Structures are given as C-alpha cells and as structure tokens.
A and B are shown apart, each in its own frame.
Chain A
Amino acid sequence: MKRALVVVAFFGALLLLWETATLSGRWSPVLLPSPADVAAYLWSAVRDGTLLAAAVVTLKRLLIGYALGIALGLPLGLTISTSNYFSDTIGALALGLQTLPSVCWVPLALLWFGQTEAAMLFVVVMGTVWSVVLATYAGARTIPPIYARAARTMGSEGFDKWTRVILPAALPYVVSGMKQGWAFAWRSLMAAEIFVTILTGFGLGNLLQYGRELSAMDQVIGVMVVIVLIGLAADKILFSPWERLLHRRWGTGDV
C-alpha cells in the first residue's frame, strides 16, 4: 500500500513538473504540449479507433514475427550445441547477425518483399531469432553433463532427451534470450514503422511519424506513451510468469 502511494506520488509529481513547464510559457506549445493536450489526443484517438487499429497492426506483426523467431531459434540453437563444427560456423554467423541491428534489414526486406507485411515480419524475425539461437545454444552447452547421464540411465534418449531434459535444463538461458529477442524485435519494428509506410497496415510507428508530419506533438508524445505502456505490459504478461517460474523452481534471481 505504501509502495503504491509512492508510485502514485512519483508519477503525479512528474506530470505536475511537465504541466508547470508548459505553463511557464518558455517553450512553444507546438514543441511541448501539455499533459492535458496529450490526454485529449489519446482520448480522441481511442474514440475514433485509430489508436486501437494501429496498435493491433503493430502487435500482430510483433507477435507473429516473435513466435516465428522463437520457433526457428530454439531448434537451431539446440542443433548448434551438438557439434563444434556447427558452433564454429552457424554459431559465429548467429553472433555476427545478432550484433547487426535488425532495422538494417529494412532496405533489403523492402526489396525482397515489397512494402508488405512480410517485410515487417522479416525484420521482427531477424531481431528475435539470433538472440534466441545464441541463448539456447549457451544454455544447452552449460547444463551439467550429469543431467544427461542420469536421463540416459532412466531411458531418456533422442527427441525425449532434447525436449524433456536439455531444453528445460537450458530454460534460464532461453528465457533471458527470449527477453533480449523481444527487446530487439520491438525496437526494430518501431524503427521500421517510422522509416517506411507499409501499404497493408498502419502501425503505431506510422502513427507517430504521421504526427510529426502534421507537427502534432500531442500525437507524437501520445503514441510514445502507448509504446511505453505496451512494452511494460509485454514484460509483465510475457516474461514475469517465466521469471516467477524460474525463481520458484531454480531458486535463483528475484521475483
């Protein structure tokens, strides 16, 4: 309760500071709209449906691309862990591509896929997949060999060993890789949406860029607030359950 009050007080003070700054008249309201203006924009955008529509377009790209990235990354990471030849080659490639901000794929994606959803998905997949690959590989490589030995004596071999022993044993690594992949994918998607207009859908990034073109800073800041809120929600919904599970079962990390 006390902690909740502190949170309310902190964000209240932040809003108050912002409001005071706009009231002081030192900055043009075009450059620094008041919190009330931003709230008014958000309310109108919610009512006319543009915000929801844009959020749906963006989240769809993100979730589909993210799921694809994980679906590709997990088996690839496990495969790499089986042989030094794979880790020297595919592993090195994955490390290289992970350091490449995936927004760098946008020009190529546009040429390959045109201004379509596929181009956006491609950018998200490229943001996700390498982090998942590397984390899964690291996890599979660092699990105590005794787990595999114990599992072998109890009759766990082949596919069962990979899915019921090695993958769960690597889970702490996999979750952190998924989290990193999410962060990369989310940033890249925003950059891509600001960068290019995709004919098949108008996402949050497009909405933000549109606000800039109209010099509607209330819209720009409003969309930014929504992007932050989605990021926070993703953290709570996608990752907190996993982290609680890891904390409960492995006894590591904090809740």
Chain B
Amino acid sequence: MTATHVEPYGSPPANLVVEGVSKWFRTERSIVQALKNVSMRVRGGEFVCLVGPSGSGKSTLLDIIAGLTAPDEGRVLADGQLVQGPGRHRLVMFQEPALFPWHNVLGNVMFGLKRKPGLSNRQRREIADDHLRLVGMEKFKTAYVHELSGGMKQRVALARSLAPDPRVLLMDEPLSALDAITREQLYADIQEIWRKRPKTIVLVTHNVREAVCLGDRVLLLSPSPGVVSEEFKISLPRPRDINTPELAVIAQNITAALKGYLVQPGAAAE
C-alpha cells in the first residue's frame, strides 16, 4: 500500500490498465483457466461495465484489479503503479453488502475512514455524515445492519466504499440481489452520486440493461476461459432511465452478442 493522499475529498480518479492478465484455478483433479490474456484500459473517471455469462471470470478479474487475487500472468496498473495487494484507493462493493453486524450504520461507514491516516476524528465524523447524506441514509445512522432492507444495506455499503475517497470503485454485482423497484431507484442514485463524486468505476453484472444504463462502455467477456471479446460504447445522454426504448435497443444488440457465447458447454464457476 502506498497511501500518500490525505485530502478528505476529491482525490483524482485513477486510470486503470489491465495488461495480459491470465488466471488459472487449480483444484485437486483439474486446472481451469478463468481468464486468458485479458487486457483493458479504463480512463480516469470512466464508468465501465463488465458483462458476461457465468464462468467468464468477470468477478475474478474484478478481484485481480482490487488486488484481492494475484494474476498468474500479466499485471494491473492503477495510475501507472503496479497493483500488488488490496489498497484503499481501490474499494470494493460486493454482491452481499458485507456490512459488519457489530457496528451500526455510522460505525460501518467509519470503518474504512478510521484506517485512513492523516484525518482527525472530527473530520472522519464529518466525512461519514456527508456520505450518509449522499446515499440518503442520514436518518439511519444509529440503526443496526439487520434492521435495514437489502437496498438500504447496499446504500450503506456504497457510503462505506466512497467515504475513504478511493480513486477506483469496484462493484461486483452489488444490485443483483435486490428487487426491481429498489434496483431502479439505485440506478438513478448511483448516476447522481457518480456525478457528484467522479470515480473510476468498474461494475460487474449479469444484467445487460443495467450495464447499458450505467456504463460509458460495456465490455463483453466470453467464458471458458474469459477473454474480452467485444466492446460497446454507450453514448446515451445522462442521467439515463433504464426504461427508455433507446436503451432497450442497445441492450438487445448486446444481449444478442452475448447469446453467441452462452451455448458453450463446460462453463466453470466465476
């Protein structure tokens, strides 16, 4: 970890370079290649969505960018610096909210802040309060995790990830476990929050419409082993509504491309 930035807000979004990343998973009986020579570039402040069927290794790729998993070949650079482990400039939102039940909402948002050097406790409190306001959870500061709905939990998880002011936000299907109405509300909110706090975002999802709604670009990963097979630039104006026909047309094209990969047998776990 080479943490040098201490200003509470507005550290510039990082650009990401993924260079020739391959990853194999070894079990006792077999070796499965999850990623094969994957390369991609993400500009600072860009919102990129990775879409692919199960077994395309998209979650593995996200773990590698986060530094939670080491690639077997290739490397990841964040602002030109080699990613060698997890760091607070690249925070992750998981499919499960992964909030800590022993802390209340505020305590969860404070967790990452407390481990960020160079801040006074008062600044930490203010930053946490700001971010709870940003995600609309300021009224639930003292609530405990089990008292929140799924959508509220992910809002808190988003505040927790944004509060330490990372340069990159990595989202691993954070909305897939939510009901449709909650999800649609969050599509709007995420776009608004991203406008206010411009981060480099990489979102992994199964949901093509979601990718088109949120992403500047949608990258298609084909499975077994995962390679970036196609790229779609989405130039619809923002904020986007997931229910517009224009968006549906683009999503249809991507889905058609995606279906080409679905028939392949032997897809392994992501």
Q: Is B one of A's binding partners?
A: yes
A interface residue numbers (CB < 8 A to B): 144, 146-147, 149-156, 160, 165, 168-169, 171, 248-252
Beta-carbon contact of A250 and B1 below 8 Å: no
18 new A-B contacts, CB < 8 A, other than A144-B98, A250-B101, A251-B101, are: A147-B98, A147-B100, A149-B68, A149-B92, A149-B94, A151-B111, A152-B68, A153-B86, A153-B90, A154-B115, A154-B164, A155-B86, A155-B115, A155-B116, A169-B100, A248-B144, A249-B102, A250-B102
Q: How far is the CA of A151 from the CA of B116 in the complex (A)?
A: 13
Chain A residues lying within 8 Å of B92, measured Cβ to Cβ, are: 149-150, 153
Interface of B is mostly: loop
Q: How far is the CA of A150 from the CA of B111 in the complex (A)?
A: 10
Most buried by A among B1, B86, B91: B86
Beta-carbon contact of B91 and A153 below 8 Å: yes
Per-position binary interface string of chain B over residues 84-119, scored 1 when its CB falls under 8 Å from any chain A CB and 0 otherwise: 001110111010101011101000000110011000
Beta-carbon contact of A149 and B112 below 8 Å: no
Q: Which residue of chain B has its CB nearest to the CB of A168?
A: B102
Q: How far is the CA of A153 from the CA of B116 in the complex (A)?
A: 12
Q: How far is the CA of A248 from the CA of B3 in the complex (A)?
A: 36
B76 within 8 A of A: no
B interface residue numbers (CB < 8 A to A): 1, 3, 66-68, 86-88, 90-92, 94, 96, 98, 100-102, 104, 111-112, 115-116, 144-147, 160, 164
Indicate which residue in B94, B112, B145 contacts A146 across the interface (CB closer than 8 Å).
B94
User: Smallest Cβ distance from B142 to chain A, in angstroms?
Assistant: 11
Q: How far is the CA of A34 from the CA of B98 in the complex (A)?
A: 60
Indicate which residue in A153, A165, A171, A249 contacts B66 across the interface (CB closer than 8 Å).
A153
Chain A residues lying within 8 Å of B116, measured Cβ to Cβ, are: 155
Beta-carbon contact of A165 and B100 below 8 Å: yes
A154-B111 contact, Cβ under 8 Å, with A144-B96, A146-B96, A251-B146: yes
Q: Which residue of chain A has its CB nearest to the CB of B91?
A: A153
Q: Which residue of chain A has its CB nearest to the CB of B68?
A: A149
Q: How far is the CA of A244 from the CA of B164 in the complex (A)?
A: 32
Indicate which residue in B112, B144, B146, B147 contacts A154 across the interface (CB closer than 8 Å).
B112
Q: Which residue of chain B has its CB nearest to the CB of A160?
A: B115
Q: How far is the CA of A152 from the CA of B66 in the complex (A)?
A: 10
User: Smallest Cβ distance from A253 to chain B, in angstroms?
Assistant: 12
Q: How far is the CA of A198 from the CA of B92 in the complex (A)?
A: 60
Q: How far is the CA of A248 from the CA of B146 in the complex (A)?
A: 9
Most buried by B among A150, A165, A252: A150
Q: How far is the CA of A141 from the CA of B235 in the complex (A)?
A: 47
Q: How far is the CA of A252 from the CA of B147 in the complex (A)?
A: 11
Beta-carbon contact of A153 and B68 below 8 Å: yes
Q: How far is the CA of A149 from the CA of B98 in the complex (A)?
A: 9
Chain A residues lying within 8 Å of B146, measured Cβ to Cβ, are: 249-252
A249-B96 contact, Cβ under 8 Å, with A153-B90, A155-B115, A171-B102: no
Q: Which residue of chain B has its CB nearest to the CB of A146?
A: B98
Most buried by B among A155, A156, A171: A155
Indicate which residue in B86, B96, B144, B160 contacts A251 across the interface (CB closer than 8 Å).
B144
Q: How far is the CA of A146 from the CA of B104 in the complex (A)?
A: 18
Most buried by B among A152, A153, A168: A153
Contact sample, A vs B, 13 pairs, CB 8 Å cutoff: A147-B98, A150-B94, A152-B86, A153-B67, A153-B68, A153-B86, A153-B87, A154-B112, A154-B115, A155-B1, A155-B86, A249-B144, A252-B146
Beta-carbon contact of B88 and A154 below 8 Å: yes
Q: How far is the CA of A217 from the CA of B160 in the complex (A)?
A: 64
User: Smallest Cβ distance from A164 to chain B, in angstroms?
Assistant: 8
Chain B residues lying within 8 Å of A151, measured Cβ to Cβ, are: 111
